[in-house]
Chains A and B, each alone.
Chain A
Amino acid sequence: MVLIDGIVIILLAIGIFFMFVGAVGLLRLPDFYTRLHATGKCDTLGEGLIILGLIIYHFFYYSGISLIPVKLLFLIIFIFIANPTATHAIVKAAYLTGLTPWRLGEERR
């Protein structure tokens, strides 16, 4: 039992670390396009790891065959497809409207 606890805690900790990196990247990076790099990649993976940890927790603590891990698996697959697509839609809208990317040496925007 302690082993399963340890695995779940490690997965949750790594997931929350990546989410923090994503949020700090939102505040620290100098331009809109670079900020979307941070959130588009880190959010997706952080959530994937957290939900994976919760699936493992559910298997070993709640008895009985239920369909809840299957629903959570669907949620992971949906997030892996939907988050990059939403990021791409917003970047395309910004580029075609005329927001210019940041080059090295300019000031923050």
Chain B
Amino acid sequence: MIIIFLVTGLLIVLTILLSLCRAVVGPGVFNRVAAVNVIGTKTIVLLIIMGYYFERPLFFDIPLLYAMINFIGTLAFAKYLERGELWS
């Protein structure tokens, strides 16, 4: 059963590498922002699976916090790109 978590983790890392290709290639800034958002949400799942793989299912405040940080970061970036500045 623990081996399943290792395989899952490796597949998620593969997915992150595929999104990284889009972050490098994508013409313009919007494609890159979308790819970084995807990498952020995949990292949350990777943290939780690693918590279960090492048999320490204790510290799940960290993925919750990183989800909020990723969300607010993407919102701030989108607001800046729309208006040209952050505070009016």
Contacts and interface: CB of A to CB of B under 8 A. Distances in A.
Interface string A80-107: 0011011001101110110100000000
Contact of A86 (B18, B37, B82): B37
Question: From DSSP, what is the main secondary structure of chain B's interface residues?
Answer: helix
Please tell me the size bucket of the interface on A.
35 or more
Contacts, number: 116
Given A20-B15, A50-B45, A68-B57, A75 B67 contact: yes
Please tell me the size bucket of the interface on B.
35 or more
B4 A9 contact: yes
A83 B63 CA distance: 15
- By CB atoms of chain A within 10 A, which of B27, B49, B57 has the most? B57
B49 to A, nearest CB: 7
Given A19-B42, A39-B34, A89-B78, A54 B28 contact: no
Interface string A45-69: 0010011001001100010000010
Given A47-B41, A89-B79, A57 B64 contact: no
Contact of A32 (B30, B57, B61): B30
